[in-house]
Amino acid sequence: MSFDINNSGPGVSDFILLKDLSEDGLLQNMKKRWEDGFIYTYIGNVIVSVNPYQPVNLYTKDIIELYRTNDTRDLPPHIYSLADITLRTMQYESQDQCIIISGESGSGKTEASKLIMEYIATIAGKNSRQITVEHVKDQLLNSNPVLEAFGNAKTVRNDNSSRFGKYMDLQFDGNGNPSGGKINTYLLEKSRVVTQQPNERNFHIFYQLLNGAEPELREHLKLKESAKYYKYLNETADDIDDANINKESLNNIINTMNSIGISDKDQLSLLEGIAAILHLGNIHFEPLEGGSNPGSKITNIEEVEMAAELLGIDSETLATALISRSINDYAGRSKKAIIVPLDVEKAEFSRDALAKALYSYLFDFLIQKVNDQINSNDADDTQKHVIGVLDIYGFEIFEKNSFEQLIINTCNEKLHQHFINYTLFSEREEYKRAGYSWDTNFYFSNQLERSKEMFQLIESKDKGIFALLDEECLMPVPSTTSFLNKLDHYHINHKYYDSFFWLKHYAGEVDYSINDFVEKNNDTLHSDLVFALYSSEKETFRELIPKSKVAKTSRVSRTPDTLGMQFRTSLANLMKNVTSKTPHYIRCIKPNTTKSSTYFDESLCLAQCRYLGLLENIRARRQLPKYAVPIIQRTWRSYRSHCLLNGMKKSVIESGNDWINIKWEKEPANEKLKEAFNNLKYIYYREMVSEKLLIFIFIFIFFFLYYYCYYYYYYYYYYYCIYFN
């Protein structure tokens, strides 16, 4: 599809203008537009994007320039429109902005974030220091392949699914000129390092390293070529030696790291850490023969030696830390450490905990190196403004839903609650500005109440799901049965909980497989392993460990950090970041599960529309004060709003509907509203008359000048002939 400035596509380009305001009307309009290549549609100031699953010619420099120099509402719906509004709002109102991109895995969220950043970086550079803008733009966009290699993985729904939340800030100085950037990451799915669901894979970087390493690098890392030799990669039914994995991908990643300023030393450290994780996964334990202590031993010590050499630590220290742990005897007089041997199950748990922690540290190290290149420290923080872009994995419902899905879905519940809160607040404020009484929007009010009850179930400090799970992990012998009994005891009568751990999320009911919840939540890395890694002779690996982690392991902690605790802390930081800014929304829709560019699965899309609340959003914005009055007010104030009215009128005319006969969701309730509605009609007719009058005046002037010139031509020609004859 080629871009046409005068073609907004079939149906209506803004769902607010739908004549058939129903689920079927919404779906048919979306389907019709998607099949014709129009993947974007408005809901007021919200963008709905449907993944095209094919290349589209919508993102050229010429199109960027069109949206920069024209009123975006006079142009077809586009993601550039929202990016332009966000940038101008930040510049004119001096307020931090945030673009929240939501949707299922595979709906195009990551691509949307790339397009947003590219537009903002390109446009902001028109009136500022071009070198700074190009540097920040290149760093942010070039870092994407590296972040995808370390943070993305193949899932049953998406071959390149983001398994972490990425929040990117573009920083601007007090004059609105770009000055730098920063990347924050949240909720890395580090459990994927040690286990994956059937037909899924580990993070891309493992396969890229095995397939693309040069012989010299492979020998240094002591790696074999096939993924089938490594436990952390070979326990899935997926084709782990897929020939489609590009052998040049590792070189591309290395070249990208070079381009964003990551040194050769740091690159090698990252790859050494990845290889060490693969060797850790291959360490095998067996029970000790004889004796009363249920200890264990390592049967393939060579894997320990290879991992230890890559990490720069003593192999005996690492081996000892894997099969035993020391506990300080604070009750005794000597206060010496007591060595407690670990059985096979606990030793495997320690090994996996080290692998997950190491990968998480490497990922944070990578993010820090990228930020070192783009973060601005020149200006005072009080003089900075930022535009943030949040790209985080969407709601997930699989055949088997584990602890990771609970974390992901809880995060999406939180973002949905934020959307409801902001929509209610902005609607109420707009009513007040227009001088109308507040009339509660029942859908959003009910959704807000539902969210509060859901988070009481999940996050309550004493009896919430995460609190009960943490409590179970502190038991001498934690068990799944005990945890499930506690859930049923406290929540069996809760409206959003069913026995055997069914939760009724806003996006649908989810049956969670609770069998491994306790093991996955108990993510504690005991102090011996922390100090073993901290004893590395390689500075990079010593610096990986947060100082707070080293300090904490030096003292007794009655409440060790569980994965649930880490998640809640990370989620709180994310929401603090998001709620401090003015939000803008992009709702991404996945049209089918087969990645077809021609098949529109109506049932799948309807489910997504429901849990994103699209129809209710349309209804809220169709109410007269929300929709008509701002148009009236802006139209009287400026010519720009005159263009806005014409743009909306054009959209309605193209759809075959009559602008003035739109059925409002809520009819005027008082004299002031009736007056506003009549003013809207007056403005419409006035504009129509003005257009026709202008055409008449133009025609009149044209003929006047024509006959005027004709008359004088023959007048002078007549006297010329008489004079010379």
> Catalytic amino acids?
105-106, 110, 158, 161-162, 394, 396
Q: Which two tokens stand for residue 393?
A: 């994995």
Find out whether 388 is annotated in a ligand binding site.
no
86 is annotated as contributing to ligand binding = no
Q: Sort strands 582-589 and 97-103 into parallel, antiparallel or unpaired.
A: parallel
| 105 assigned binding-site residue | yes
What backbone torsions phi and psi does residue 588 show, to the nearest 5 degrees? -95, 135
CA proximity to 281, closest of 213, 227, 343, 220: 227
E-only strand ranges, 84-177: 97-103, 152-153, 161-162, 165-172
Helix (H) or strand (E) run with residue 232 in it: helix 231-234
DSSP letter (8 states) at residue 400: S
- At 687, the amino acid letter reads E
Structure tokens of 95? Answer: 């307020």
Residues 496, 509: Cα–Cα separation, whole Å? 9
The span from the CA of 251 to the CA of 217, in Å, is: 12
The annotation status of 576 as a binding-site residue, yes or no, is: no
| Encoded tokens for 9 | 């596509």
What span, in angstroms and rounded, lies between the C-alpha atoms of 514 and 153? 23
10 by DSSP, 3-state: which? coil
Reported as type and span, the H/E element at residue 289 is none
Is 596 labelled a binding residue? no
Q: What is the Cα–Cα distance from 100 to 391, expressed in whole angstroms?
A: 7
Distance, CA of 195 to CA of 210 (rounded, Å): 18
Helix ranges (DSSP H) in 301-400: 301-311, 315-323, 344-374
Kind plus residue range of the DSSP H or E element containing 200: none
Cα–Cα dist 46/56, whole Å:
21
Residue 493: exposure state from Cβ atoms within 10 A (0-12, 13-18, ≥19): exposed
Cα 200 → chain centroid: 21
104 assigned binding-site residue: yes
**Is 414 a known ligand-binding residue?**
no
User: Torsions phi, psi of 587, nearest 5?
Assistant: -105, 115
> Cβ neighbours of residue 392 under 8 Å, at least 6 residues apart?
101, 102, 109, 162, 164, 165, 166, 167, 186, 187, 411, 415, 574
| β pairing state of 46-50 and 582-589 | parallel
Residue 256 annotated as lining a ligand binding site? no
User: What are 219's two structure tokens?
Assistant: 């020998």
Among the listed residues 675, 664, 591, the one whose alpha carbon sits nearest the alpha carbon of residue 108: 591
User: What is the 8-class DSSP label of residue 288?
Assistant: P
Rounded (to 5) percent helix, strand, coil in the chain: 60, 10, 30
- What angle do the packed helices 249-259 and 264-281 form, to 10 degrees? 140
User: Residue 484 carries which side chain, given as an amino acid letter?
Assistant: L
The residue type of 308 is A
Specify the amino acid at residue 129. R
Specify the long-range contacts of residues 590-594, CB closer than 8 Å, at least 24 apart: 590/51, 590/103, 590/104, 590/105, 590/106, 590/107, 590/108, 590/157, 591/34, 591/50, 591/51, 591/53, 592/53, 593/106, 593/157
Residue ranges for the known binding site for ATP are: 103-110
